[in-house]
């Protein structure tokens, strides 16, 4: 699903590499937490998977494709198979909840009839059944994140990337969001989530990959946020 072979990434005018010689593989269907302190390279890792950035050294394969050899015009096709969720939700403020989710299907040219059927189904799945006509501003943070997850998932992506999805939410709301991501994972979607949320990582006991100053320093199945001795 994702393979990094000896990947290094430096940004222009930065002395320190954002990622150094990272090698790892994420298999289909896994749920993986990416942890590490601020600046350790988590977002850079996700940006490489999305081909928003390119490596300086090493290879990144996503869904079987070598991203260095993927032509620019094929990048949108790759991204359509990836769902993304962010800390700040990134909903379209002038569109209703239903329209926000529908938009993800419109841009890939899905027929209207299918969109009309699919949107309420996915809103039901995320626990927002009947809220199609609300505006994002009328929802709580947790509900807005559910809309963002519905939008990311409506296309049934092979891989869901989440960058601090619980970063703006209180602990109880975060637990609800994690249950939802877990359910999505159980449908077969691989989930890769960058997070600082120790409580969540410790509760879920999934695979944990830790970065420190751009290096992979830990890769543990059923891991916790910090080292356990």
Ligand X SMILES: Nc1ncnc2c1ncn2[C@@H]1O[C@H](COP(=O)(O)OP(=O)(O)OP(=O)(O)O)[C@@H](O)[C@H]1O
Q: How far is the CB of 102 from ligand X (least distance, A)?
A: 30
> Which DSSP helix (H) or strand (E) runs through 84?
strand 82-86
209 in Cβ contact with 218 (< 8 Å):
yes
- The stretch near ligand X (CB under 6 A) out of 9-17, 97-105, 110-118, 151-159 is 9-17
Which residue in 40, 84, 100, 144 binds ligand X (CB under 6 A)?
A: 40
| C-beta of 84 vs 118, nearer to ligand X | 84
- Tokens, residue 60: 């990144």
Q: How far is the CB of 200 from ligand X (least distance, A)?
A: 15
101 in Cβ contact with 123 (< 8 Å):
yes
By CB under 6 A, is residue 42 in contact with ligand X? yes
72 in Cβ contact with 14 (< 8 Å):
no
Which residue in 23, 28, 39, 221 binds ligand X (CB under 6 A)?
A: 39
Q: Please give the Cα distance from 54 to 46 (Å, whole number).
A: 11
By CB under 6 A, is residue 129 in contact with ligand X? no
Q: What is the DSSP letter of 136?
A: G
Q: Please state the separation of Cα 166 from the chain's center in Å.
A: 12
Site string for ligand X, 19-38 (x = CB under 6 A): -----------------x-x
By CB under 6 A, is residue 87 in contact with ligand X? no
54 in Cβ contact with 48 (< 8 Å):
yes
Where does this chain bind ligand X (CB under 6 A)?
A: 11, 14, 16, 18, 36, 38-44
């Amino acid at each position: 699903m994702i393979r990094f072979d000896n990947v290094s990434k430096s940004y222009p005018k930065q002395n320190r590499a954002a990622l150094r010689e990272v090698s790892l593989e994420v298999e289909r269907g896994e749920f993986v937490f990416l942890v590490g302190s601020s600046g350790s390279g988590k977002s850079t890792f996700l940006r490489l998977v999305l081909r928003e950035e390119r490596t300086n050294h090493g290879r990144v394969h996503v869904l079987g494709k070598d991203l260095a050899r993927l032509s620019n015009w094929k990048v949108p096709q790759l991204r359509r198979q990836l769902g993304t969720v962010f800390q700040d939700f990134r909903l379209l403020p002038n569109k209703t909840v239903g329209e926000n989710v529908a938009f993800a299907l419109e841009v890939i040219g899905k027929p209207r009839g299918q969109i009309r059927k699919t949107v309420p189904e996915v809103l039901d799945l995320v626990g927002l059944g009947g809220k199609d006509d609300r505006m994002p501003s009328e929802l709580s943070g947790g509900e807005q994140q559910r809309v963002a997850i519905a939008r990311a998932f409506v296309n049934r992506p092979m891989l869901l990337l989440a960058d601090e999805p619980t970063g703006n939410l209180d602990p109880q709301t975060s637990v609800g969001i994690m249950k939802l991501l877990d359910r999505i994972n159980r449908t077969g979607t691989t989930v890769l989530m960058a997070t600082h949320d120790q409580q969540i990582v410790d509760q879920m006991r999934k695979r944990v990959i830790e970065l420190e100053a751009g290096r992979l320093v830990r890769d543990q199945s059923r891991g916790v946020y910090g080292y356990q001795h």
